[in-house]
A and B are shown apart, each in its own frame.
Chain A
């Protein structure tokens, strides 16, 4: 692979990773909050926020499952170069899964953690087309979520376009009883929002 195929990573890696982590920490502890990362560098089909989250959280100690839509030499090589992450073929081996909505027909295999070690569950990073506050007019194909629970004073609304049906059902029904479950990082363009397993979710 030539140098030309590499996209630039964070220009000031220590500060950029810290800054984006703080935004992720806010997003995960205040579920549904919409954060503008102000990042601008995409990695092929990965949006700037998606590429930034990968650089911030992933390294050689993590297994990453890639949606078929993101399979390809450029993404594979750049993620390897910038993070050192191991790509895994089996969903069950993944600490993180980078998902495209079109590929998410089921959630089988992603680790939900165990009652003794609930933190061993998989974190889904789902790249969608748009994330908005509820105040934004919900476009066709968008799903409005009403969130309640820890990190939310009363309730918070988040518009996700598109939200795969299987995930909408999972979030509403929570088939894995807490503390088991999947934590969700949603990314679109420069924006991100989180829905941890502790949130009660209603599709409205």
Chain B
């Protein structure tokens, strides 16, 4: 480790300056064209595709010494994927890392948006496996490009409508397509559709990186992001009968987990930082004395009974 906090023999954030510049130019075009996928080139990250290389390339191009980085995988800070990406950037930038959403200036994410509302000057960087929302309908890149150019999105509605004909509702639950700024249909990456409303007019900047297909796209702050739907079948998010078995939240995205070898199940928050901060809050205020948090604290306290 050298004196500036970066592992010896490596450039800051791993990528060479030429590659960073290419990605940076692509990012500026991406924010000028909300929802449009900008191709980019340059050096690869030293990890296989599927490990979030696109998100890592974007993070490497934007991160600086003043940043505080948070990395989540399916909402959790402690999975193998999140831990190794966080360690990678700690080693190769020396920046501070955090698990707390509100402390982070950069949040790299795989498949979730944090439950705590994001604020201005935070940047959310999504790892994207398949950037093209029309790909499952049209395998040809030439054709999908033409469809975006002509705003020819009828097939997308047909696909969703087939769902309704088949299941009586729109069955798509992840990577649910959105229309950005009234112009481009965009794949929000495989986040649950529960998270889609958080993208709409978010004060934070949202950047998307797809490593295998080498595409970058963006949603600037305060930009309209609408989930595609029909008048008679409006967009709906997932709901649970249960509340979180740890913190008692009724508002967060829940994962079903098996808790013993008899196959007993519980529901807990997928966002580990959100869940922990609610539990800590409840411990700090056992009587629920802090104004405005009475209900939350009481919820947390009595979670196991309440659920």
Contacts and interface: CB of A to CB of B under 8 A. Distances in A.
Contact of B32 (A14, A17, A28): A28
Interface string B2-40: 000000000110000110111011111111111010110
A19 interface: yes
A115 B183 CA distance: 12
A60 B150 CA distance: 34
Given A29-B31, A29-B218, A151 B223 contact: yes
Contacts of B30: 119
| Interface size bracket, B side | 35 or more
Interface residues of A, number: 38
B205 A25 contact: yes
B145 interface: yes
Contacts of B33: 118-119, 179, 197-198
Contacts of B12: 14-15, 18
Contact of A123 (B28, B64, B221): B28
Given A14-B11, A18-B63, A21-B62, A151 B145 contact: no
Interface string B35-65: 0101100000000000000000000011111
Nearest to B63: A18
B211 interface: no
Contact of B183 (A56, A59, A123, A178): A178
Contacts of A152: 222
B28 A150 contact: no
A108 interface: no
Contacts of B26: 119
Nearest to B38: A119
B164 interface: no
B134 to A, nearest CB: 14
Looking at chain B's contact residues, is the secondary structure mostly helix, strand, loop, or mixed? mixed
A56 B36 contact: no
A57 B18 CA distance: 10
B222 A17 contact: no
B21 to A, nearest CB: 6
B221 A29 contact: yes
B32 A197 contact: yes
A150 B25 contact: no
B181 interface: yes
A28 B62 contact: no
Given A56-B24, A57-B21, A153 B222 contact: yes
A149 to B, nearest CB: 8
B149 interface: yes
A24 interface: yes
Interface in A162-203: 178-179, 183, 196-198
25 contacts: A14-B17, A21-B24, A24-B24, A25-B24, A25-B27, A25-B62, A26-B121, A28-B31, A29-B205, A29-B220, A59-B18, A115-B149, A115-B150, A119-B33, A119-B38, A151-B220, A151-B221, A153-B203, A153-B221, A153-B222, A179-B184, A183-B28, A183-B29, A196-B32, A198-B32
